[in-house]
Amino acid sequence: MSSESPSGDAPATATPDPDEPRPRAFNEDWAAVVVGLALLALVLIGAIPEGVIP
Amino acid sequence: MATENADAQAAAEPAAPATSETAALTDTAPATRAPWGFIALGVLIVLILGAVTRFLEQHVPEWAAGTAFAEVAAAVEYPVYAIVLGLLGGLVITLTGLRDKVADGFRTEFFIKTGLVLLGASINLSVIARAAGPAIAQALIVVPTVFLFTWWLAGRLGLDEKLRALLSSAVSICGVSAAITAAGAVRARREQLAYTASLVILFALPSIFLLPWLADVLNLSTPVAGAWIGGNIDTTAAVAAAGALVGEEALQIAAVVKSTQNVLMGLVAVALTAYFTYRVERTPGSARPGLGTLWTRFPKFVLGFILASVVATIYLNQVGDAGADTIGVVNDLRTWFLILAFVSIGLEFRLTRLREAGWKPIAVFGGAAVFNLALALLLASLLFRGFEA
């Protein structure tokens, strides 16, 4: 395998901008925060009582 | 060589960077994502194997009581069942031709991050505050040193610049997530990301069992063992699995150390974007990566992890010891999400990618992993000596 510059692969405009928002990654990261904190809140207010989780 | 063939083939295809761990480990391009029915089936497979894991974890010690296997059965914990069942499940779906259809349901990233947010609730805020200093110091030394070592080693073996960036990020920061981030920053090919992700899993699986065993052999204190695991194992799910095998305290320290490394991912992404824009690709007029990139790459689950710790700490301060049982319910939920993540790791593992990659990336990854192992052990021993959770 060569180690030459890969600049000839494709013009920069043909590839996605790495700074563009990534909807799926964004969702998965934030979804974990929302679901995790929501479950914590449900336990603390007693909506998920002891003995319910197997 | 196989790698060259893969690169040559990939060079003809425009990059379509994966944006999740699941996507990075599958052959399915985002444009050809499986129908919802198959995704639901994938989630169902994970849930069923997770339920079997929980069942075995709770009942095997009872069944083995009074037999020659009693001690072994008591020592085997849920990460072992989950990963083994995941690997067996992966074999079955490969043989039945279902793998590519259902793989989108193996949401390792979501499961592990939700598990870590819930883990935050069992860690007193003071532990995070006290561990943050040594964890940041360890990360600031380990991440750049291992990154530069891997970059150098990959260069010596003549690997492509983009693959060097992916391997270096994966080994030094946080495995598949870092490889995905680096792939976006350097515009790597999908194939390069896929076999980097497979390499991460290949090395993470034995580490889950090897590091707790070595920590025991080396007689490391629990905080040092946790810091070593958190600073060494690449992928966050595997860190949690290994930490859980050592014990609750080790899991907590490992999670804090790993989360600190995760935060550095944003900085590395900015540096890689700048390096590839200005030095490798020399794209004229490219926007300078800045705070926006930093925020985009910031692992948001770390915010949830800290917030959960804040909420639980305040809650326990108010209700006192009576709150321990309530936090126990949160811990049960956390265990469930970790089990689902470990099952998914096993399900996602595929050997074919590594055959395509050839021996050089494996040699680089192996060499870097050993270097990381030694450096993280040294730093964890120095920085977490005498630490009490």
Residue B8 tokens, joined: 């040559």
CA–CA gap between residue B262 and residue B300 (Å, rounded): 10
The pLDDT, as a whole number, for residue A2 is: 35
> What does the radius of gyration of chain B's CA atoms come to, in whole angstroms?
21
Percent above pLDDT 90 for chain B: 41
Domain ranges of chain B: 33-106, 113-383
Burial class (CB in 10 A: 0-12, 13-18, 19+), A45: exposed
Interval B284-340: pLDDT, tens: 566 666 677 777 777 788 889 889 999 999 999 998 888 889 999 999 999 999 899
Q: How far apart are CA B83 and CA B307, in angstroms?
A: 29
pLDDT in tens, B27-57: 545 556 678 899 999 999 999 999 999 999 8
Is the distance from CB of B178 to CB of B187 less than 8 angstroms? no
Q: C-alpha dihedral over B114, B117, B122, B127, to 10 degrees?
A: 150
Minimum-distance CB partner of B187 among A15, A43, A48: A15
State the pLDDT at residue B3: 39
- Across chain B, mean pLDDT equals 83
Four-residue CA torsion sign, B63, B64, B65, B67: positive
* Closest CA in chain B for residue A33: B304
Query: Chain A contacts of B51, Cβ < 8 Å?
Result: 54
- Cα-based angle B106, B111, B114 (whole degrees, multiple of 5): 160
Q: Are B166 and B3 in contact (CB under 8 A)?
A: no
Cβ within 8 Å, pair B329-A36: no
From chain B residues 351-380, the ones with a CB under 8 A of any chain A CB are: 360
**Is B64 in contact with B327 (CB distance < 8 Å)?**
no
Residue B205 CB coordination number (10 Å): 19
Low-confidence ranges of chain A (pLDDT < 70): 1-26
pLDDT per residue over B178-201, tens digit each? 887 788 778 788 778 777 888 888
Over residues B218-231, mean pLDDT: 94
Confidence at B24, pLDDT banded by 50, 70, 90: low
Q: Is B308 on the interface with A (CB under 8 A)?
A: yes
Q: Chain A to chain B, count of Cβ pairs less than 8 Å apart?
A: 151
What's the token pair of residue B77?
């914990």
Alpha-carbon span B137 to A19, nearest angstrom: 28
Closest CA to B354 of B222, B122, B237, B191: B191
Model pLDDT, residue B177: 73
